[in-house]
Structure 1
Amino acid sequence: MSANDRVTEINHLIDGLKDKYPSEINAFLVFMGKAEGNPALGMAQKELINVALSVAAQCQWCIALHVKGAVAAGATRDEIMSAGFMAVLMHGGPALMYLVSLTEAVNEFLPEEKHG
């Protein structure tokens, strides 16, 4: 499954939850908007933190979503991979395995850069 497929699944999930559980998902989305809206950190910094947390949490959907967000916010391949390695530093070998998903997502969302 591609990173884009995972982001599409997230969007379908949220749309379905809005129909069946609007108060719960809307409360989460409001909280997310407030947390992301704080100006103390730029959006690229926030997304890089989210990338690291996604790798540590071993969540392939989160990795896809936040790599896409980091790219959209202007983060570079090296910044994204560095965030992934910070997760490995703090979470160890299991997080290292999720650099596979991270690398795949970076390659998908930054296709113009050489993969090496």
Structure 2
Amino acid sequence: MERLEEAGSVMSRLMQDMPDQLKSFSAFIKAAEAEGALDEKTKHLMLCSLGVAFQCAWCIAVHVKGCVDAGANKEEILEAAMMAVVMGGGPKMMYIEIVYEEIDKYFK
């Protein structure tokens, strides 16, 4: 199963088992990701970097798609992901492989 599908599956199960909590969390995410002082693309690039920093393959998949949907190009996504490597070194660099796997779905 693709990472995006896996993330969606978890969210679906949580919606069944914990709807109030998931609805509240989803509302927070929507508000935090909304355009404000930072535009949507910048926020998704930051979230992609944080996905690498926290070594979360599912987060990387979700936020690479968010980056693409917000108009980011491959170079912008990779540069954002490398900011996690600046702070985290080699272990974070290995998660760039997952970034590549995800961006290869959108850019050829």
Structures share fold, TM-score greater than 0.5: yes
| Structure 1 runs not aligned, ≥5 long | 112-116
Cα deviation digits, residues 14-66 of structure 1 (max 9, x gap)? 11111110111111101111111241111110000001000010000000110
The alignment's TM-score, normalised by the length of structure 1, stands at: 0.88
The alignment's TM-score, normalised by the length of structure 2, stands at: 0.94
For residue 10 of structure 1, what is the aligned residue in structure 2? 7
3-state secondary structure, aligned to 2:72: coil
- Structure 2 residue corresponding to 1:44, chosen from 41, 44, 69: 41
CA-based RMSD of the aligned residues comes to: 1.1
The code of the aligned residue for 1:102 comes to V
For the 8 Å contact 1:51–1:66, the answer to whether it is kept is yes
In 2: Cα distance, 1:50 partner to 1:37 partner: 13
Moved over 2 A (4+): none
3-state secondary structure, aligned to 2:105: helix
Higher-RCO chain (CA-CA 8 Å, sequence separation at least 6): 1
